[in-house]
Structure 1
């Protein structure tokens, strides 16, 4: 048995089989591999297994692209952890001469959360109008993957996580239990070596593999204790929001009450307090008819975008939260774009607030 330093038990047989499977699939073809990484337990376990598989391969014929999507509104505590981990993983993978490339992708400027809400007047997302997931999280990842004619996406999806997840896996399953179809696309295959892993298996993988040492199961465990689960980094289904039991966007208004950030504040993440207050204020402000146009952008009557007055109020509140929290919540070039979009509306004869 292979033992790792500072571990309580040997690497499991399930991990050995998963590593062997990854090695076998790696050699099958030249299709580029992309691994969706969020910093959560499942994607971390998957990355751990891939890392160990690559260590055992003497000659590598293709790169593994690790993709993390920085939406710009990730919970800062989690975002900082992920970026620090990626920096350490780059050093460690270079040490082993592994063909791993790390990509931190961001949404297009005009798709950024605050550019949409404050610049264009988009109402913060709801279950009915949940515009955020595609623009902030899915499209940036696809912009990398779709550059290839054909590709394989590695995802840490598992049976038994939830009834909705099980339904999705069964809907898109293939002749191989480790592969899923990506909707109707023939360009992309989804490969999940941990599809039959239990929650216990995931934590065992993180705890009992010596490499990569950059992934610390105790830190991940503390984040989960403080917050909750992670949002997906690649689209699996259109129907499931990432608003329940997650760590993701601190601005999330898909749910009425953000228990994740509230829990993190309770557990000592005091810098998030101003963000939590802003988010709670925003969810009420969103539904205030006083600050919504009564004409839509297409000219039809009905609840339209947030008025310019309303958008200015949101920006002031955001900048106040940024100052009080001492956290960078909005980039300078986003503010510049917001001002540009305000001018567009001011000078547009078709834009009407009433």
Structure 2
């Protein structure tokens, strides 16, 4: 995405209003603050305004924790950008003397994508069985935040994104800039850019000099024609990734991953093998030859992927890892996968359609 001064004009009043609100809320109490960051435009604009607001204060009485969740199956191009940006932000905020720390959250081992799919035999996510968002993205962040009795969670939620979202915001609003959490309600959600339009967000990113570590031009190039961000916290009921650009390369919830296809067309050839695997596994998961006829709860129906099927997926994944020269699965995940295979072999209640073959030769 290329910027031109005729296309964007800064709405300084809107940004300044958000900055003033951030300072006012920061000074109000000692409740810890957590900012959910995805690397996308909305969370980047939010982080910019928070950093500017803190730089205008004379003293600080609490830290702000910025959390990025690395699901393990993030688009590697985005992951590289986020990790580089995080390191630069750490150094810049330290230099500015700001009380901001940066944390990367990861899912529990048993909740990771390939442990679920290859180890336990979960079919890759669908609209009907969308097990991924909570386990991979929401829960790791929630676990950090919920270790505190009460917290304020800053999110780049904006009105005007959809009628459904606007209705949910109106329903759950406490005050002008707050939304209640849909679960325990012990935490409050603070949305300083709730009245920013998409144009406002890009204007915020382009026309505010701090922090220098957020490269607006690079971010625009990654977006190309702009996309949405996967949620980093369960701010509203029913919010899901949908066709997000800043999401997982393995996502099979959408029928076609147009964002990855577009990135490949625009020169990100390193994603080609990953995209081919994603398309292959989306079809493979529905092959009845490699699905049990009984679910784990004992009911008849399309059950887990068979051990033979899981072995085929692992072999294919390792082949793609080698071809793409990209680490796609961790050693600890491979160890856990083999443990889960053995657990199924030893479980008399786990029933497959055909006798087990040797699955440990991979």
What stretches of structure 1 move > 4 A for 4+ residues in a row?
8-11
Which runs of structure 2 are paired with 1:240-259 in the superposition (5 Å)?
A: 240-259=239-258
Report the Cα offset of residue 167 of structure 1.
2.0
Report the Cα offset of residue 271 of structure 1.
0.5
Q: Deviations over 1:51-87 (max 9, x none)?
A: 0011111110000000000000000000110111000
Residue 56 (structure 1) aligns with? 56
Distance 1:32 1:55 in 2: 18
Distance 1:10 1:336 in 2: 52
Report the Cα offset of residue 198 of structure 1.
1.0
Residue 68 (structure 2) aligns with? 68
Report the Cα offset of residue 105 of structure 1.
0.2
CA contact (8 A) 2:9 2:203 kept: no
Residue 202 (structure 1) aligns with? 201
Tell me the SS of whatever aligns to 1:39: coil
Residue 88 (structure 1) aligns with? 88
Report the Cα offset of residue 302 of structure 1.
1.3
CA contact (8 A) 2:85 2:214 kept: yes
Residue 309 (structure 1) aligns with? 308
Report the Cα offset of residue 321 of structure 1.
0.7
Answering whether residue 344 of structure 2 is matched by residue 345 of structure 1, we say yes
Report the Cα offset of residue 9 of structure 1.
6.9
Report the Cα offset of residue 247 of structure 1.
2.3
Which runs of structure 2 are paired with 1:139-158 in the superposition (5 Å)?
A: 139-158=139-158
Structure 1 length-normalised TM: 0.95
Report the Cα offset of residue 183 of structure 1.
1.5
Residue 360 (structure 2) aligns with? none
Report the Cα offset of residue 20 of structure 1.
1.0
Q: Deviations over 1:198-238 (max 9, x none)?
A: 11111111001111000011111111107732211111334
Tell me the SS of whatever aligns to 1:35: strand
Distance 1:324 1:184 in 2: 43
Tell me the SS of whatever aligns to 2:104: strand
Residue 104 (structure 2) aligns with? 104
Residue 79 (structure 1) aligns with? 79
Residue 4 (structure 1) aligns with? none
Residue 278 (structure 1) aligns with? 277
Residue 289 (structure 1) aligns with? 288
Residue 160 (structure 1) aligns with? 160
Q: Deviations over 1:117-160 (max 9, x none)?
A: 00000010000000000000000000000001010000000001
CA contact (8 A) 2:169 2:236 kept: no
Tell me the SS of whatever aligns to 1:47: helix
* 5+ residue gaps, structure 2: 1-7, 354-362
CA contact (8 A) 1:227 1:264 kept: no
Distance 2:165 2:213 in 1: 29
CA contact (8 A) 2:36 2:67 kept: yes
Residue 218 (structure 2) aligns with? 219
Distance 1:195 1:328 in 2: 37
Distance 1:21 1:102 in 2: 22
CA contact (8 A) 1:295 1:303 kept: yes
Distance 2:328 2:226 in 1: 19
1:352–1:10 CA distance, 2 compared to 1 (3 A): closer
CA contact (8 A) 2:180 2:235 kept: no
Tell me the SS of whatever aligns to 1:335: helix
Structure 2 length-normalised TM: 0.93
Tell me the SS of whatever aligns to 1:282: helix
Residue 21 (structure 1) aligns with? 21
Tell me the SS of whatever aligns to 2:249: coil
Q: Deviations over 1:65-114 (max 9, x none)?
A: 00000000000000110111000000000001110011100000000000
Report the Cα offset of residue 184 of structure 1.
4.7
